[in-house]
Chain A
Amino acid sequence: MTQEVATPELADSEPADNELQAQRAALKSEYKELAWQGLWKNNPGLVQLLGLCPLLAVTATVTNALGLGLATLLVLIGSNATVSLIRHWVPKEIRIPIFVLIIAAFVTCVQLLMNAFTYGLYQALGIFLPLIVTNCAIIGRAEAYASKNPLAQASFDGLMMGIGFMLILVVLGAIREVLGQGTLFDGIELLLGDWASGLRIQVLNLDNQFLLAILPPGAFIAMGFLIAIKNAIDSKIAERQPKPEEKAIERVRVNFDAS
């Protein structure tokens, strides 16, 4: 990733039109790359396997997953933006404690807000809401990206990583909720207000709850399958794409054999 091109300071120096366009193109490809990294290639849930503890513990229903996903998303955007804003004033030696302070402050604020406005969900998420502090995806992004990049990109990165994480949470929650109790969006009114109670869908009518899906081991198994599916898709893509490259490799191999 080339960041120098994208810094706003450069934009002030009245560049030529084509230069401006080149900058815009670079910025656009940077955003695209960020989205691709956050949503798929470097997904915090599926690839980095960060924040597994809340990921596995609260995804018994879509509602819980969505609640925790949104909370994490808010914290990620907030902390990434703040870290990016202050990146010039923080000496290197004390950046980690400051990042932790910022993240903790955001988590506490989100926790208080959820307590006030989505009380039922706050009760359901319990300890895992304050535990967002320990979600390594957040400090990881602050350290690896936000502390080196301007505000807009850093916030966008937070948004994409957060959505990537939330998507995995919701997919896992949906799988476990359908298998475990045969519903989708059960209890969604806790998050979105009373109007949303109509969203609840009865997918299957189960005589017996499949408890394994709701209990933590089910989360591990479902997560394993999700990762396997992602890897399978990736290898399918890789199989299809680099045909021209393969020839080049072959030639190298021939040379190697000959030498």
Chain B
Amino acid sequence: MRKAIEKNARILALFAIACTATVGLVNELTKGKIARQEQAQLLKTLHDIIDPEIVNNDLYQSCLLVTDELLGNNEPHTVYLAKHDEKPVAAAITTTAPDGYSGNIELIVALNYDGTVSGVRTLKHQETPGLGDKVEIKKSDWITSFTDKLVTADNQHQWAVSKDGGMFDQFTGATITPRAVVKAVKNTALYFQQHKAELFSRTDSCRENL
């Protein structure tokens, strides 16, 4: 009996080791490729909202972690800094719209150094299919209506959906979702205007292995 248990344990251990070794080997072989893929994916999103022509630094590496009330909540948000020959050009800031119809909407907002919005994309959301999900670029180009808009001291009331007297259309059937997104983009733009000098002077990075 005892012997059988010992034998079985040995066999089991042997298989565990063999399986782990296989997985480890495959992991080792694919690690570099996966990292490159992730990086490429991120860069693709960033290049969608920041014109790659005007940027010549490594966007993937030049990122910061920031925390601010204006970015929706107190979680750390990532900021990607775009520079051209070390001169600040634009920044892409991940932000959270906390008041979506069902939960948080995660956005990435790119802003030119002069404060105008260069592009916005939705990263994650749980809005109602067919109504609120038009914030996705795949479903509707509504999200591009932010491009080239600027928040100034005297046009803040225009940063709202048209139902509230603002300049952004809500889409048919949903008001809460676009309202939340507009507010988040506006707050992010304000945050950037207040902090842009400080952001571009920081030297730390969110990547540990620089």
Contact = CB atoms under 8 A, between A and B. Distances in A.
Interface string B15-26: 110011011001
B26 A113 contact: yes
A91 to B, nearest CB: 6
Contacts of B34: 112, 115-116, 119
Given A94-B8, A112-B27, A214-B129, A105 B33 contact: no
Contact of A115 (B4, B7, B22, B30): B30
Interface residues of B toward A: which range? 20 to 34
Interface string A80-117: 00000000011101100110011011001100110111
Contacts of B53: none
- Interface majority SS on B: helix, strand, loop or mixed? helix
Interface string A174-215: 000000000000000000000000000000000001010011
Interface in A117-137: 117, 119-120, 123
A105 B26 CA distance: 10
Nearest to B22: A105
Name the prevailing secondary structure of the A interface residues.
Answer: helix
B30 A89 contact: no
A5 B96 CA distance: 66
A61 to B, nearest CB: 12
Given A93-B8, A94-B8, A209 B37 contact: no
Interface in A197-249: 209, 211, 214-215
A93 B8 CA distance: 8
Contacts of B19: 101-102, 104-105
Contacts of B15: 98, 101-102
Contacts of A90: 11
Contacts of A89: 11
A120 B22 CA distance: 25
Nearest to A120: B41
Nearest to A91: B8
B34 to A, nearest CB: 5
B85 interface: no
B41 A119 contact: yes
B38 interface: yes
Query: Which of A104, A105, A115, A120 has the most B CB atoms < 10 Å from its CB?
Result: A105
A211 B173 CA distance: 15
Interface in B130-157: 130
A54 B30 CA distance: 25
